[in-house]
Structure 1
Amino acid sequence: MISMLLLLQAPSVFDAGKVSFSVHAHGWEHNYKIMTYSLMPNESFEMTFHHVPDKSKISVRHPDGTLESLSGHRWVWPGSGTAGVHPFAVLLDHQQMVINLIVMVPLKIDSKGTMQGYRIGKYPDIPLKGLGIYKPPRGLIRVDPEMLVLPLSPHFTLGQFMCKQAGDYPKFLLVRTGLLIKLEYLLELVNHKGFATDTFYVMSGFRTPYYNDAIGNVRYSRHQWGGAADIFIDSNPKDGVMDDLNRDGVIDVRDAAVLYRLFDDESFKDGYKPMIGGLGQYKKTSSHGPFVHVDVRGFRARWGH
């Protein structure tokens, strides 16, 4: 199953990984060749396809065949009680879109702060400013080693977002669809601006509350809800640190500022509005190089620049 999805990888010349039609589901519309959504057990999933030519027909395939076709290019999957990846192949005029539906495991943290032996910690009891996005997640994605190479979108894999804390498998993770769409959007943007790279280096993706507290981060960090990523361009050379984006011969906060300004300028465009969120700029320290933080919190926030 996962090996089939690995066929969708970016070539050496940047390709945004898009098809000519789009899908609207879970509050997001996109036209990427592959995208991932997380669901609770037995939660149904409805998808509506747009920009379908009048004489063309959408075909949606799933291994167990449990799909219902509705009017207006709408399809519904009734859900599954089996945790794990459930991929769909959407076909239209020799084009293919893969939709990964990942059924999560309900969040059940024991008295030791663990879930199936993996240390999670404790989510805040009171949501920040009463906002629903800061309530504890209903579930988490159970991750076994073979899932690390799973493509979540055209240019990002599941392993890029894993929490950095030590521990045996199974581990747990959360990655929001909106974050994947935003990262793909920004990746296409930097390539268009002349910074050639086939992905961002994700220095920090998901964090458990335990790990977030251990590194001294803020209590309501969006990383804990799978909606944030600390990223930089690491392409020339690939050495685990930010590239010299401003070409001054020094790797420092001014390179992070290149990305910050590029992303901030883009945030005022109409097409960016669904992805509105936080943007932060960070200088290098003894433990890491410069980077920028991006998230999809749903409202504008800026810091560090």
Structure 2
Amino acid sequence: MLNVYSRARDGETLLSRSFRAKEFACKDGTDPLFVDSELVQVLQAIRDHFGAPVVITSGYRTAAHNRAVGGAVYSQHQYGRAADIRVSGVPVEQLAAYAETLLPGTGGIGRYPAKGFVHVDVRKAKSRWAG
């Protein structure tokens, strides 16, 4: 389910045991922000599995910000269904492999070893790529 939050009013709101709304906010400072609850569940499972914080380097993006950072035209970030993440001490391949167990026949998983992050999204179709 897609939820809308105000960065200013709801930024400190816990969306799960480990994630606050502000962590998903667009880096351009806009308000509001959108977050799919299924994405939060996947990220919480990753956090619980590795026992370490999941850092969201990019969550929700406005269309303008997505264009500015060179995101895909129909990027799942624009719909609140994607996050680029890293976990300190966990290699990209290991992080992506665990995400695979959570999204076996669905969702998007992109591996970006040179940049040190994994893209995870909760789209209905299955998509995999390396960047």
Q: Quick check: TM above 0.5?
A: yes
Letter in 2 for 1:178: E
Structure-1 residue corresponding to 2:126: 300
Residue correspondence of structure 1 range 202-281 to structure 2 within 5 A: 202-233=56-87, 243-245=88-90, 255-268=91-104, 276-281=106-111
Aligned Cα root-mean-square deviation (Å) = 2.1
1:173 counterpart residue number:
33
| Identity in percent | 31
Shift of 1:142: 5.1
SS across alignment from 1:216: coil
Q: 1:151 aligns with which of 4, 14, 20?
A: 14
Inter-partner Cα distance in structure 2 for 1:151 and 1:177: 12
Q: Runs of 5+ in structure 1 lacking a partner? A: 1-25, 27-36, 39-140, 191-195, 234-242, 246-254
Shift of 1:185: 2.1
Shift of 1:205: 0.4
TM-score by length of 2: 0.87
**Equivalents in 2 of 1:211, 1:163: separation in Å?**
8
Partner of 2:100: helix, strand, or coil?
A: helix
Q: CA deviation at 1:143?
A: 1.5
| Partner Cα distance (1:142, 1:178) in 2 | 15
Cα pair 2:5 2:34 within 8 Å, conserved: no
User: Once the two structures are superposed, what CA deviation does each residue of 1:259-282 show, in whole Å capped at 9, x if it has no partner?
Assistant: 1122224544xxxx6xx3000111
4+ residue stretches of structure 1 with deviation over 6 A?
Answer: none
Q: Provide the C-alpha distance between the structure 1 equivalents of 2:10 and 2:39, rounded to a whole number of angstroms.
A: 19
Q: Larger helix proportion, structure 1 or 2? A: 2
Give the whole-Å Cα distance in 2 for the aligned partners of 1:267 and 1:143: 29
Once residues 280 and 150 of structure 1 are traced to their aligned partners in structure 2, the CA distance between those partners, rounded to angstroms, is 28
Tell me, in whole angstroms, the C-alpha distance in 2 between the residues paired with 1:144 and 1:217.
Answer: 22
TM-score, normalised with respect to structure 1: 0.40
Residues 111-151 of structure 1: CA deviation (Å, up to 9, x unaligned): xxxxxxxxxxxxxxxxxxxxxxxxxxxxxx35252421110
Question: Which structure would you say has the larger Rg?
Answer: 1
Q: Relative contact order (C-alpha < 8 Å, sep 6+): which is higher? A: 2
